[in-house]
Amino acid sequence: MKTVILRLDYSGVADSTELVKWFDKRFPSAFKERIEHHNREFNIQLRKEDIETISKTLSLPVSVIERETIMRYHRMKDVNCEVMLDISKYYLCMTLKCDNNYDGLDNYVSCFKGAITTFKDNVPYFCPRRLGLRKVRVESKPSMRDFDSIFEEHVYKIPSYGFDNSSFLATDYVDCFEISNLNNLRFNVRGKMDYVKGESGKMEYKSTLDIDAYYQSDALANANINEWLTSANLKAFDVYKYCMKESYLETISE
């Protein structure tokens, strides 16, 4: 796994400092460093489409979200991955950056879940609106055929159009579906492949498998966030296994 992102969007918070106060009380030593960023001096880490999603969910202009003060926590203790936790007036976001050292979500999610529980118990009018879990896997290979042993055929079934002197540049697709009997858990599954210059300076094929699982429901306000997030994680793993060759999964789990 290259990147794992947990995010809760919410409304009803008058000032993010209230959230920070309760987080520090619940987790006084989980991180080694925190930095406050103000307004547009902060280079926001969310994707453009993530900011737009928050904007639509909360019915706020994108510019308002971008200008908001964010408290960022760095250097989580006793874990393998690089962790960044952002607390703002509108969202809580935990990002895991992994370098072939992903040690499972359980080592990180207790802090994320605990923060949400603390906010719900102590901050009046705190109202969860969207809960998401996103997992991204990136692979680079010198040939497209090298991916045949990694991904199932349906992930990168790139057609040959039969044109002379044509060169592959990129492919990109998104599948969207919903599981109604799991609190309407929704998925956006994106498969992307590019032909790019690698770190060595040589051209290579880079694949990105992006699995985004999320709930967007009024029921989140009274939901058991722990249970819903656990369900999302289990189903995201099922999607991940559906996309990857079993023989390859066995090699990377050894």
Please state, as a whole number, how many other Cβ atoms lie within 10 Å of the Cβ of residue 53: 20
Q: Please, which pLDDT band fits residue 153 given cuts at 50, 70 and 90?
A: confident
Pairwise pLDDT comparison (136 vs 158), residue with the higher score:
136
* pLDDT for position 182: 93
Distance CA 246, CA 132 (A): 26
Q: Is 60 exposed, middle or buried (0-12, 13-18, 19+ CB in 10 A)?
A: middle
Q: Taking Cα atoms as reference points, which of 88, 80, 97 lies closest to residue 2?
A: 97
Please state, as a whole number, how many other Cβ atoms lie within 10 Å of the Cβ of residue 93: 22
* pLDDT for position 254: 43
Distance CA 19, CA 115 (A): 9
Assess whether pLDDT exceeds 60 at residue 169.
yes
- Give the model confidence (pLDDT) of 72-106 as tens digits: 999 898 888 899 999 999 999 999 998 777 777 88
Assess whether pLDDT exceeds 60 at residue 44.
no
Assess whether pLDDT exceeds 80 at residue 43.
no
Beta bridge pairs of residue 246: none
Looking up tokens 């998401």, which residue turns up? 132
Distance CA 136, CA 47 (A): 13
Cα-only R_g, the chain: 20
Q: What percent of the chain has pLDDT over 90?
A: 58
* pLDDT for position 20: 95
User: Could you tell me the two tokens for 220?
Assistant: 């989140």
Distance CA 23, CA 70 (A): 13
Q: What is the mean pLDDT of the chain?
A: 89
Least trusted range by pLDDT, from 25-29, 63-67, 189-193: 63-67
**pLDDT, mean of residues 153-179:** 87
Assess whether pLDDT exceeds 70 at residue 21.
yes
User: Could you tell me the two tokens for 223?
Assistant: 């939901």
